A and B are shown apart, each in its own frame.
Chain A
Amino acid sequence: MADLHLGGWREDTLREIGIKSFEKAIDISIEEKVDFILISGDLFDSSNPTIDVMASAARKLYQLKEKNIEVYVIEGSHDFSPTGRTILKVFQEAGLLKKVTSVDDVDGKLRLRGIKDSKTGISIYGVSGIRGSLEKATYDVLDRANLEESEGNKIFMFHSAIQEFKPSSLAHMEAIPISYLPKSFLYYAGGHIHDNGEFELDGYKNVVFPGALFPNNIDELLIFRGGGFYIVSYENDKITKKYVPIKIYPVIILEIPIDRMTSFSIEEKIKEITLNKDFTDSIVITKFKGKLEGNISSINFKKINEYLEKKGARLVKRDTRELILKEYKEVKNISFTKEKLEEDIISRHKDQIAIKGCATDTIPFVKNFMELLSREKKEGEKKDDYYTNILRDSLEYLRKLKLLGGLDEDNLS
C-alpha cells in the first residue's frame, strides 16, 4: 500500500475516515495472513503528525508486530524531512516498522543495503520520494549494477511518478524515468500516484501503484471515491496481484443543475432529486452546475447541508467550480486544492523571475521554499527555536541549490 496520508484533511470526519481505512487495510492483511506489508511512502501526511494520529498508527502497527508481520517502508514526499527527524524514525526505533533505504557510499556510488525478509527470504530495497523529485540526485548515483547482480528474489520500493506510466491527467507532474530503477526485480512497489495501476515495460515487470488508500482531496474524492491496496502472492515463480478496495463510507456525488434558479427553487430542486435517495453514513459532494442569477451567497448552503445531513449524510462537501456567476466571467480550470492553486499561480508568474544557476526548476523550487517558510510551530517547539530552525532549514535548502552565492550565512543570522 502507499499514500495513506494519515492526518491529512482538515475536516475531522474525513481525517478519521483516512485512519479507519488504514485500520481496515491492516485488519484485512492480518486476516489474509500476509507475510509482510510494504508501505511505499506517505504513510503520514507530514513528518510530524499530531499525537492523536501517531497514537492511532502506533496502535495498529503494534498489532502487526504481535502477529509477527513485518512492515517495510520508505518515506514519501509528505513524510520525508531533509533533517531526518521524522515520525518514521521514531517508529523504526520502536521496532514498529523497518526503513529499507540504508545505503553505503562505495567509491561515489550509492549501494543500497536492503533488508532480507526472514520469513520469505525476499530482499527489499527502496529509495524515498522527496518533493520536487529531488530523489533524482540519488538515482543518479545509485549502484544499479550491484542491485541487478545481487542474488535471490528482490523487491524495489519507490515513491515517484514514473515518466512512462503516469496518466494523462498528470502529464505535467514531475516524474522520474523507469530507467533509473534496477532491472529484473520481482516486483516494484510504487507510491506517489494516487490512482492505482499495474505496468510493465521491457526489463521491468510488475510495476504496481496501489494508489491512495483513501482520497486526499476533493478532486480525488470526486474521481476515485475510494481507494485500496494490493495483496500480492508469489508462488511457483508466478506473481498474482489482487486489488483490494477499501470502502468505509460511500461517496455520493449529487449533481445539481441550477440554471437561472432562485435560492428557493434550488432547495426545491435538491429535494426533488434526492427524494428516493438514501444518504445514510455517506459522504455527499454537492456539485453545482449552471448559470446563477445573482451572487453565490444567495444560495443557502447551510440549509442544504442540514437537509442532506438530516437524510443521513455524515458529511456534505460542495463543489461550485462549474457554477457560472453572472457578475464574473466563467472561471475555468481553477483547481480546488491549495497546492494546485499555488502551483497554477507560480507557473503563471514564474517567467518573471530568473533564478540564475538554480539546480531545480522554478516551480518545485518556489513550492519547496514556500513550504519551508510556511511551516507552523510544532507542539512544544520554543518560539526562538522555531525561528532559528526555519532559518536554518531555508538556508540549508538555498545552499544546496547554490543560491546563496557569496552571502555569508553568519551575517544573515
Chain B
Amino acid sequence: MITLDIVGKIVSGDFSGVIIRQKTGVDLELGELLVTREDNDYFIMQIYDISYGSQIPERIRSLAAGLKLEEQSNLSFIDDEISNFILVSLKPTLFVTPNRYHLPKRLPKFFSTIERITEADIKFLEKPNQPLYFGKIRSGSRVLDIDVFLKGDDVITHHVLISASTGKGKSNLVKVLTYNLLNESYAGLLIIDPHDEYYGRTKKGLKNHPNANNKVIYYSTSPTPGSNTLVLDIKTIKPWHLNGIVSLTEAQLECIYLFYNRDREKWIENIVLAENDDVVNTQTLAVLKRKFNNIFGISSDGNALHFRSGLFSNNSGITTIQNVIDYLQNGKTVIVDTSKLGGEVELLIGGIFAEGIFSKYKDLSSKGALYDKPCVSIIIEEAPRVLGKDVLDKGANIFGTIAREGRKFRVGLVAITQLPSLIPKEILANMNTKIIMGTEMSNERSALIESSSQDISEESRNIASLDIGEALLTSTFSKLAIPLKIPLFEDLFNQKVPYKEKTIPRGVDFD
C-alpha cells in the first residue's frame, strides 16, 4: 500500500460529514478528493468545509493572540501545532471495491488515515460507447489526468443545463463538447449562436476540426465563402412558428389563421399586401402589418413586397428549413449565426429549426424509424428567454415542449444560462445532466442544488468558489457528482497538428 501522501486522520463525524484532522504542513482545499483505504477497497471523499480546531480554550487563545500581537510575550505552546490544527469536513461520495463501485452505505473506520487521490484511484471510470467528453477530473484546483466521458446519447436526449456567471467559461465548455462530438456520428447538433463564437470566423473554432468539411454546416446572414446564407423564404413560415415567441392577441391569431386557411403559404404576403378587408378588423390588420414589418422586415410599397433585411425573402431559401432538418438527421453540426439578429427574430429562427426537427422525429417515431437516426441536441444561449417561468406562463413555445417531451423523440436541449432560478423547477429537474460552473449568487446555487441528480447539498460553497473553467458535473447517468476541469478550447489544438486533407481542384484548366 502506498502511503506517501497522508494528509490526515479521521477524528469524528457522521454520515453527513466525516471530520478529519489535517496533518501539519499539508494544505487541503475545498473540493479536493481524498481516499481512505481498507484492504482492497477504498472510500472516495470530497472536502466541503474547513475550520480551525484547538485544544486550548477560546478565551486563552484570544488572550495569547493579543499578547503576541503586542509582542509582550513568547508563549510558544500557544502556536504549537500539536494543540492547534485544521479540521476538514469530508463527504463520503463513493465506495470502490475491485469489481464495482457504489454510494457508501457505511462509514470508514475511525482514525483511518486519509490520502490524496491519485489517478489510479479513478481508473474505474471507463470510456462508454457513444462517448461525450467533458474534461478532466479535478481535485480542488489540482487537475488529474483522467478524462471524463458519459454516454452521449443518454446525456443528450435527457437535456443538459450549463450554468455559470458570465465569464466563467460556459462558451468555452460548449466549444469543447461540440468539438469532440465532431469525432462521433451519434448526434446531430443545432447551435443557435448569438455571439458568432462557435464556427470560428476570425479565430479557432469548430471549422478547424479535421472533420469540419463533412460535418460542420454554418449559416450566417453574412456568410464566409463556402458557407450558407441564412435566408428563409416566407412561404416556408407557418403560423405556429410564432407560438410563444411573438406575442399575439386572440384577434390577431384569428386573423392569421383566417389568411392561412385561405391562402396557405401566401398568408404572410397577403396580410402585408391586404387592403382593408371586410372580414378582418382594420385595426387588427394594421397591427399585424406593423408586427410583420418588425419581425420579418416585410412591408408593402404600393402593391409589391419590400424586404428590409436579407433574412427573409420570397425568392431565396425555400429549402433552408428542410436542409437544416436533413443535416441534423444525418448527424451534422449546424451552427446558426444569429449575431446580427434581434432577440425575437433569433428565437423565431431557432424555434423554426427546432420545431422542424422535432416534428420530423415525432413523425419518424410514429413510423418506428427513430432509432435509425442520430439523436439531436439543440444548444440555446440565455435559455430563460424561452424557458423562463414568465415566458412559459404567457404561452407554450417549442423549446418548452422539447424540454418536456423531447426525450421520447430523441431531441434534447442544451440550455445555457446565468440565471437557472428563472427556469421552472419541473423543467430544471428534467434536465438530467447539469454542468455547474462558478456561480456567486446563492439563490442561483440553490436552484441548481435542489434540482441535481446527486445530493450536492454540501457543495454550495464549492460552487461559489469555482474558478474559470472549473465545474461540477451532476448527472442521472453518473454514479457520483464529478468535479471537472474543462480544457481551454484553444489548447486542444496544441496537442496534435490536425491533419489537413489536400483535394485536387476540378472544373478548371491548368495549362
Q: What separation, in Å, do the CA atoms of A136 and B283 have in the docked complex?
A: 51
Please indicate the chain A residues that have their CB under 8 angstroms from the CB of B322 in the complex: 168, 171
Q: What separation, in Å, do the CA atoms of A255 and B501 have in the docked complex?
A: 53
Nearest-neighbour CB distance to chain B for A356, whole angstroms, equals: 11
The verdict on B53 contacting chain A, using a C-beta distance below 8 Å, is no
The verdict on B229 contacting chain A, using a C-beta distance below 8 Å, is yes
Query: Which of A80, A140, A171, A172 contacts B226 (CB under 8 A)?
Result: A140
From 202 to 246 in chain A, residues with beta carbon under 8 angstroms from any chain B beta carbon are 202
Please indicate the chain A residues that have their CB under 8 angstroms from the CB of B509 in the complex: 84, 99, 101-103
Q: What separation, in Å, do the CA atoms of A110 and B317 have in the docked complex?
A: 29
From 208 to 229 in chain B, residues with beta carbon under 8 angstroms from any chain A beta carbon are 213-214, 223-229
From 289 to 345 in chain B, residues with beta carbon under 8 angstroms from any chain A beta carbon are 310, 313, 315-320, 322-323, 326
The verdict on A289 contacting chain B, using a C-beta distance below 8 Å, is no
Contact indicator B318/A201 (Cβ below 8 Å): no
The verdict on B506 contacting chain A, using a C-beta distance below 8 Å, is yes
Which B residue sits closest to A166, measured CB to CB?
B319
Known A139-B226, A164-B231; judge A82-B319 contact (CB<8 A): no
The majority secondary structure among interface residues of chain A is mixed
From 93 to 132 in chain A, residues with beta carbon under 8 angstroms from any chain B beta carbon are 99, 101-105, 110, 112, 127-130
Nearest-neighbour CB distance to chain A for B317, whole angstroms, equals: 6
Q: Mark A38-49, 1 if CB is under 8 A from B, else 0.
A: 000000000000
Nearest-neighbour CB distance to chain A for B305, whole angstroms, equals: 14
Number of interface residues of A (CB under 8 A): 50
Contact indicator A130/B319 (Cβ below 8 Å): no
Q: Which of these binds chain B: A28-36, A177-185, A292-300, A335-343?
A: A177-185
The verdict on B507 contacting chain A, using a C-beta distance below 8 Å, is yes
The verdict on A134 contacting chain B, using a C-beta distance below 8 Å, is yes
The verdict on B504 contacting chain A, using a C-beta distance below 8 Å, is yes
Please indicate the chain B residues that have their CB under 8 angstroms from the CB of A127 in the complex: 507-508
The verdict on A351 contacting chain B, using a C-beta distance below 8 Å, is yes
Contact indicator B506/A179 (Cβ below 8 Å): no
Nearest-neighbour CB distance to chain A for B266, whole angstroms, equals: 15
Contact indicator A179/B223 (Cβ below 8 Å): yes
Most buried by A among B214, B316, B319, B507: B507
Q: What separation, in Å, do the CA atoms of A101 and B322 have in the docked complex?
A: 33
Contact indicator B318/A163 (Cβ below 8 Å): no
Please indicate the chain A residues that have their CB under 8 angstroms from the CB of B503 in the complex: 137, 140, 359, 400
Nearest-neighbour CB distance to chain B for A231, whole angstroms, equals: 22
Contact indicator B504/A400 (Cβ below 8 Å): yes
Query: Which of A141, A172, A199 contacts B505 (CB under 8 A)?
Result: A141
Please indicate the chain B residues that have their CB under 8 angstroms from the CB of A82 in the complex: 506
Contact indicator A103/B508 (Cβ below 8 Å): yes
Q: What separation, in Å, do the CA atoms of A164 and B233 have in the docked complex?
A: 9
Query: Which of A130, A199, A359 contacts B507 (CB under 8 A)?
Result: A130
From 223 to 245 in chain B, residues with beta carbon under 8 angstroms from any chain A beta carbon are 223-229, 231
Contact indicator B316/A165 (Cβ below 8 Å): yes
Query: Which of A84, A140, A163 contacts B228 (CB under 8 A)?
Result: A163
Number of interface residues of B (CB under 8 A): 32
The verdict on B80 contacting chain A, using a C-beta distance below 8 Å, is no
Contact indicator A180/B226 (Cβ below 8 Å): yes
Q: What separation, in Å, do the CA atoms of A201 and B315 have in the docked complex?
A: 9
Q: What separation, in Å, do the CA atoms of A176 and B225 have in the docked complex?
A: 10
The verdict on B510 contacting chain A, using a C-beta distance below 8 Å, is yes
Please indicate the chain A residues that have their CB under 8 angstroms from the CB of B27 in the complex: none
Please indicate the chain A residues that have their CB under 8 angstroms from the CB of B313 in the complex: 201
Most buried by A among B226, B227, B326, B506: B506
The majority secondary structure among interface residues of chain B is loop
Please indicate the chain A residues that have their CB under 8 angstroms from the CB of B225 in the complex: 139, 144, 179-180
The verdict on B71 contacting chain A, using a C-beta distance below 8 Å, is no
Contact indicator B506/A167 (Cβ below 8 Å): no
The verdict on A268 contacting chain B, using a C-beta distance below 8 Å, is no
Known A137-B504, A178-B229; judge A163-B310 contact (CB<8 A): no
The verdict on B372 contacting chain A, using a C-beta distance below 8 Å, is yes
Which A residue sits closest to B326, measured CB to CB?
A172
Contact indicator A402/B231 (Cβ below 8 Å): no
Nearest-neighbour CB distance to chain B for A201, whole angstroms, equals: 5
Q: What separation, in Å, do the CA atoms of A339 and B313 have in the docked complex?
A: 32
Please indicate the chain A residues that have their CB under 8 angstroms from the CB of B316 in the complex: 164-165, 199, 201
The verdict on B511 contacting chain A, using a C-beta distance below 8 Å, is yes
Contact indicator B507/A101 (Cβ below 8 Å): yes
Nearest-neighbour CB distance to chain A for B74, whole angstroms, equals: 75
Q: What separation, in Å, do the CA atoms of A99 and B313 have in the docked complex?
A: 35
Please indicate the chain B residues that have their CB under 8 angstroms from the CB of A134 in the complex: 506-507
Please indicate the chain B residues that have their CB under 8 angstroms from the CB of A351 in the complex: 372
Contact indicator A138/B508 (Cβ below 8 Å): yes
The verdict on A200 contacting chain B, using a C-beta distance below 8 Å, is yes
The verdict on A361 contacting chain B, using a C-beta distance below 8 Å, is yes
Q: Mark B88-113, 1 if CB is under 8 A from A, else 0.
A: 00000000000000000000000000
Nearest-neighbour CB distance to chain A for B400, whole angstroms, equals: 29
Nearest-neighbour CB distance to chain A for B490, whole angstroms, equals: 24
Please indicate the chain A residues that have their CB under 8 angstroms from the CB of B227 in the complex: 177, 179
Please indicate the chain A residues that have their CB under 8 angstroms from the CB of B213 in the complex: 359
The verdict on A75 contacting chain B, using a C-beta distance below 8 Å, is yes
The verdict on A135 contacting chain B, using a C-beta distance below 8 Å, is yes
Which A residue sits closest to B185, measured CB to CB?
A354
From 33 to 87 in chain A, residues with beta carbon under 8 angstroms from any chain B beta carbon are 74-75, 80, 82, 84
Which B residue sits closest to A168, measured CB to CB?
B318
Contact indicator A177/B506 (Cβ below 8 Å): no
Please indicate the chain B residues that have their CB under 8 angstroms from the CB of A80 in the complex: 506-507
Please indicate the chain B residues that have their CB under 8 angstroms from the CB of A104 in the complex: 510
Contact indicator A110/B505 (Cβ below 8 Å): yes
Nearest-neighbour CB distance to chain A for B445, whole angstroms, equals: 45
Contact indicator A171/B323 (Cβ below 8 Å): yes
Nearest-neighbour CB distance to chain A for B116, whole angstroms, equals: 42
Please indicate the chain A residues that have their CB under 8 angstroms from the CB of B505 in the complex: 103, 110, 137-138, 140-141
Q: What separation, in Å, do the CA atoms of A112 and B372 have in the docked complex?
A: 44
Q: What separation, in Å, do the CA atoms of A100 and B259 have in the docked complex?
A: 49
Q: What separation, in Å, do the CA atoms of A172 and B324 have in the docked complex?
A: 11
Nearest-neighbour CB distance to chain B for A185, whole angstroms, equals: 15
Contact indicator A102/B229 (Cβ below 8 Å): no
Please indicate the chain B residues that have their CB under 8 angstroms from the CB of A129 in the complex: 507
Which B residue sits closest to A41, measured CB to CB?
B507
Query: Which of A105, A128, A171 contacts B319 (CB under 8 A)?
Result: A171
Please indicate the chain B residues that have their CB under 8 angstroms from the CB of A361 in the complex: 214
Q: What separation, in Å, do the CA atoms of A198 and B510 have in the docked complex?
A: 32
Q: What separation, in Å, do the CA atoms of A118 and B466 have in the docked complex?
A: 71
Which A residue sits closest to B210, measured CB to CB?
A357
Nearest-neighbour CB distance to chain B for A67, whole angstroms, equals: 27
Nearest-neighbour CB distance to chain A for B94, whole angstroms, equals: 37
Query: Which of A84, A128, A167 contacts B318 (CB under 8 A)?
Result: A167
Which A residue sits closest to B511, measured CB to CB?
A102
Contact indicator A177/B231 (Cβ below 8 Å): no
Most buried by A among B226, B326, B501: B226
Query: Which of B214, B223, B506 contacts A135 (CB under 8 A)?
Result: B506
Contact indicator B326/A171 (Cβ below 8 Å): yes
Please indicate the chain B residues that have their CB under 8 angstroms from the CB of A136 in the complex: 226
Which residues of B are at the interface with A, using a C-beta cutoff of 8 A? 213-214, 223-229, 231, 310, 313, 315-320, 322-323, 326, 372, 501, 503-511
What 13 new A-B contacts, CB under 8 Å, besides A144-B225, A177-B223, A177-B227? Answer: A82-B506, A101-B509, A104-B510, A112-B508, A134-B506, A135-B506, A138-B508, A139-B226, A164-B231, A164-B316, A168-B319, A170-B319, A178-B229
Closest 7 CB pairs of A and B: A128-B507, A137-B503, A138-B505, A135-B507, A171-B319, A179-B223, A103-B508
* Chain A to chain B contacts (Cβ below 8 Å), 19 pairs: A82-B506, A102-B508, A103-B508, A110-B508, A112-B508, A134-B506, A135-B507, A137-B503, A137-B506, A163-B228, A164-B229, A164-B231, A168-B318, A171-B322, A177-B223, A178-B229, A179-B227, A179-B228, A201-B316
Which residues of A are at the interface with B, using a C-beta cutoff of 8 A? 74-75, 80, 82, 84, 99, 101-105, 110, 112, 127-130, 134-141, 144, 159, 163-168, 170-172, 176-180, 199-202, 351, 359, 361, 400, 402
